Amino acid sequence: MPWSLRILRAFLGVTFVYAGLQKFLDPGFLHAGSPTYIGTQLQGFATGTPVAPLMRLLSQMPVVVGVGVALTELAVGIAVLAGIGLITASVIGLAINLILWLSATWHVHPYFLGSDSIYAVAWLALIVGTWNVVATRPTTHVATARGAEDASRRAVLRGGLVAGMALALGGVANALAGPATTNSGLDLGGGGSPERAQGSTRTSSPPPSSPSASPSAAPEVPGQRIANLSKLPIGQALGFSAPGVGPAALVRLANGSVVAYSRVCTHAGCLVGYDTSARLLVCPCHGAEFDPARQAAPIPGSPTSTPLELIHVVVDKATGDVILPS
């Protein structure tokens, strides 16, 4: 095999092993309510993509799909690195990246910013290159029935070895994963690290005085109370649940006004957190960043061009409460 194909094999194999391990090492990947839950991602993949029916079907059994995809990625990576069933493994890798291209990165524009498209092309190049190597390889012996039987037995043993290694690596990675975190009741204030951006709590300085009237004033706006301006400092955010939308974030902007958006990332369906240092809504899955001061528009370089869904909220001038109108 020429070195060009060996380099391609090494890159694709290592990448798929890493992708499979990353899923098992993520404690929230298989746990509902966590920012990186596979079920939420599948539902996000179904939004306006060519394979939406398939994504909706898979979202009915998210844990099975999550485990299956992670194990398949591990098996494909191991097989490609070891040269076991190379063409078969490459075809499976191509299928995975084609599906991801038509779902997870379908909304990435321009297309060359989406990695799944080039991965699909890389798999196709490896398949064609390997096929050419096999086709031009000189025949050294005439196949016999006994030889064919031995070859089949070796293929089964090698396939079992790949499956066993994938299960073993997945099991070890899953055992090393920490406890999953959930999103219920989270304060979205956090620092710049991925863990804190997912929604960890943060102790803040005393909030500035609110321009609202006294607490005894009668409320003027009917609806669901989310927070009071006196409890939400400028540059901070908090999470809440919006009827018909689900997990949402309320952000106090630099000018003192408040805005609210859905926390469901428009790229892969993960739940965004809030980075107080950058004052951005950040997705923990693939790094998408949204600017709450600009209608939650994605920051250039994010893997999506679609802003987060806007949620209409109003401030009750009588009480200083932020209200989700009924």
Cβ-proximal residues to 108 (8 Å cutoff; 6+ apart), any chain: 114, 267, 303, 304, 305
Does 196 or 35 have the greater pLDDT score?
35
Cβ-proximal residues to 73 (8 Å cutoff; 6+ apart), any chain: 16, 17, 19, 20, 23, 96
Q: Are 24 and 173 in contact (CB under 8 A)?
A: yes
Q: Which of 283, 211, 192 lies closest to 252, judged by CA?
A: 211
Q: Which of 127, 123, 124, 104 lies closest to 114, judged by CA?
A: 104
Q: Are 95 and 103 in contact (CB under 8 A)?
A: no
Token readout for 309 is: 């869904």
What is the structure's pLDDT at 145? 66
Cis peptide before 325 (omega within 30 of 0): no
pLDDT (tens digit per residue) in 37-93? 898 888 888 877 899 999 999 999 999 999 999 999 999 999 999 999 999 999 999
Give the highest mean pLDDT range of 23-32, 78-87, 112-121, 261-270.
Answer: 78-87
Query: Is the pLDDT score of 203 beyond 70?
Result: no
What is the structure's pLDDT at 179? 77
pLDDT (tens digit per residue) in 124-170? 999 999 999 988 887 666 556 666 677 788 888 888 999 999 999 99
Q: Which domains does the chain have, with CATH numbers?
A: 3-176 (no CATH), 194-325 (2.102.10.10)
What is the structure's pLDDT at 195? 33
Task: Give helix 62-82 / helix 86-101 axis angle, nearest 10°.
Answer: 140
What is the structure's pLDDT at 197? 34
